[in-house]
A = this chain, B = another copy of it.
Amino acid sequence: MHTLLLIEDDTVVRENTAEILELSGYNVLTAPNGKAGVATAKNNLPDIIVCDIMMPELDGYGVLEQLAAEENTKHIPFIFLSAKTEHKDIRKGMDLGADDYLTKPFEESDLISAIESRVAKASILREERKRKDLGEDDTSSLRSLNDLKNYVDDHGNALTLKKGEAVFEQGQHSNYIYLITKGIIKCHKIDESGKELTTALYREDDLFGYATLLQNIAHQESATAMENTELIVVPKEELKEVLNNNHKVNFDLINLLSDNLEETKNQLLQMAYGSVRKKTAATILQFAEKMNKKPDEPLKISRNDLASVAGIATESLIRTLSSFSKEGLIDIEGRNIKIIDIKALAHID
């Protein structure tokens, strides 16, 4: 049985959450403020710590800082709870080395799954640290992009985003690269007149944020979660280190970028000369490919998002969807879209 320390100043939230966690099979310790939390952590060395940020006496950042300074406690997985959704706060937590970051209010299941995956990962990392102490090195043997992803998965920190939350915004500097473990992220740009265009979609197992990988320039686009999404975050500096020791991964990264470039250029061609019908069809197919686990599942995306990928007015998109529906190419079920005739869609116009 794992021991969990919950640091939270709001009594109601603390007791409710503790109960949930106990029911899930954890041995739960609680602390009503940061100072008490640090003391409890040092005395009991829990397997994982869940900690609010806004607290009297000592806030969450302070708790993390103090625990990170001690050899005994620095490896304990640390999950932040916060009502703040501002990106700079999240980044502050990440910079300090938090392992995950949940925004309140959260679902029970989100919390549980975050805790479980962190506990599991921590034990793997303990093994690795042992090996490393024995002189083995784990960064010189990456042979492919997949290895890189595994590396990121093992060495990165998690970040849980709700639908609509931003990973980064156009103009911000970011020092991270991201791997999606669950959900969908869209990258989008906004032009002067406020129109939004989605320039890329990423899904589970995709890497993103590498456009500015080696240069320290600001992001030229924003990245936003289209559904509840879990990311692994790795500092670019660390990644550079890894790349330096692994040519093969460099090549894979170059390929990844090339692919991206090709894809973007194709989108460009279509954007320039494609009719609304064509753009609409292509966009539906693109989403189907990116989002769907099962082939016959209906698409759940707002018309707005679809229009933003297609680069057309929302109303034009809606009209086109209606006519596709009349022609029997798709089925509109409430807000969802079900593809009926893939081939015909692929050969529109």
Which residue numbers of A lie inside 8 Å of B, CB to CB?
189, 191, 193, 195, 197, 199, 210-215, 220-221, 240, 243-244, 247, 250-251, 253-255, 257-258, 260-262, 264-274, 311-312
Contacts and interface: CB of A to CB of B under 8 A. Distances in A.
Contacts of A251: 214, 240, 243, 250
Contacts of A247: 243-244, 247, 250
A240 B267 CA distance: 29
Contacts of A269: 189, 191, 197, 199
Contact of A272 (B212, B220, B311): B311
Contact of A212 (B220, B221, B258, B274): B258
Given A191-B270, A272-B312, 10 more contacts: A189-B265, A189-B266, A193-B273, A215-B255, A244-B247, A250-B251, A254-B254, A261-B261, A268-B268, A271-B311
A211 B262 CA distance: 8
Nearest to A245: B247
Contact of A264 (B214, B255, B265, B274): B265
Given A247-B244, A257-B254, A268-B267, A273 B213 contact: no
Contacts of A197: 268-269, 272-273
A212 B273 CA distance: 25
Given A255-B215, A269-B189, A273-B193, A261 B262 contact: no
B221 A265 contact: yes
Contacts of A312: 272
Contacts of A267: 268
25 contacts: A189-B269, A191-B270, A195-B273, A199-B265, A199-B268, A211-B258, A211-B262, A213-B254, A213-B258, A214-B251, A214-B254, A215-B255, A220-B266, A243-B250, A247-B247, A250-B251, A250-B254, A254-B257, A260-B261, A261-B261, A261-B264, A264-B268, A268-B268, A271-B272, A273-B311
